[in-house]
Structure 1
Amino acid sequence: MKEGPDIARIASLVGDPARANMLTALMDGGALTASELALEAGVSLPTASSHLAKLMDGRLLTVASQGRHRYYALAGTEVAAMIEAISGVAAHSGPQRARPGPRDKSMREARVCYDHLAGDHAVAMFDRFVAEEIIVQNDDTVRLGPAGAGFFAARGIDTSGLGAARRPMCRACLDWSVRRAHLAGSLGTAILDKIIAEKWARRPAGSRVVEFTPPGKRAFEKAFLA
């Protein structure tokens, strides 16, 4: 018996089309009921329940009960990063289109990747951070750079509190549409929270799109891209 993680088991869980649709539907960081996920997957409720049991057994989902309902969500950022990366590989290796990633222009520009910003704006922001050593990237490792704490403090983000979190403060996440890195981790979440709190953008119900207002886009660009 080979040592190491059981990749084949996880791949088989994600590889089923119905389960893949369910996982993708949860990439906005929200939680859905079994009935809602059945609709997303295009299967009956009993079939959806069977799929959900397998995903739970594989520790890809969590479930919380509220009243009569049970709400399913991705088990964490590692699962979300895996789905985002697989989406990128599928776009590259599958039937070719003129451009990789989502056809919807707004999804390409800015969207939620579980709990952080993804898309063109997020990749441009990551590139700026690396270029100015706000964050430092060495191979697959990303950390706060010498200029990082002061940069984010000036924008109302306290990185000292983020460093105390269990999850990494900075992590590179392969962007599905651009096929380059955007920023994940607790710092990526804090930036998305800042964008929404400042009302620079909103998240339309039932969509992963992050929709910037014209003044909000200018404010975001001044804060994180200029």
Structure 2
Amino acid sequence: MHNFFSIHISKKLLYIAMMAGLILVYFFIFIEIVEELKEGELIEFDKILINFIQVPFSEQFISFVTTLTFFGSVTWIVVLIGIFALILALYRRKQLALYLIITSAMGGVFNWGLKYLFQRERPDIAPLLSVSGYSFPSGHSMASVIVYGSIAVVCLRIVKSKYMNGIIWFLAFLASLVIGWSRIYLGVHYPSDVVAGFVAGAAWLTISAWLLRYLEYKGRKNRS
């Protein structure tokens, strides 16, 4: 019995240490990007990547990429989260429904706060769309990581197949990557905006997933 509790506590401590370490890694990467941004050392890097990514260049492909980028928009996210939350509520998984809603909503507030804090103007390097608002970090990129990642977190608690969970996480990763790429291609974000959005989104997703796990643990403990 003593060995069982020792192993259980060790696993908990290891999990907490891993989560804390991961959040610190995201934090330091974000701070490094901010430092480079303040020193003006990202402009050349951003220009090179934008020129590289904006190929091929045709009206049909621009239309296709514009469709892709919609899947990181506020409109789509509200609809998507609303559908998933409703389904979860109908199946009496209200905690998971609230997790999706709160994580996505607070992630949006977090992104707005970061944009207001840094107030970086959008790129004027061959923009293919007219978009208002500040540029850093990319809201679409940050939202895609948070929203598709939080849906994957929920699926992890419902879908029992490790194979299916692996596919779900891969699709969430791919969706985020494609949406981030689309923002660069359309010229509405610098590559550094997109990377910063990915990092900030991953940090927020990690924190929210840890809080969900903690609340689930407290709930089980109170019921026992």
Q: Would you say same fold, with TM above 0.5?
A: no
- Greater share of helix residues, 1 or 2? 2
Structure having the higher Rg:
2
Question: Hey, which of these two has a bigger chunk of strand by percent?
Answer: 1
TM-score calculated relative to the size of structure 2: 0.25
Higher relative contact order (CA 8 A, sep 6+): 2
Q: TM-score normalized by structure 1? A: 0.25
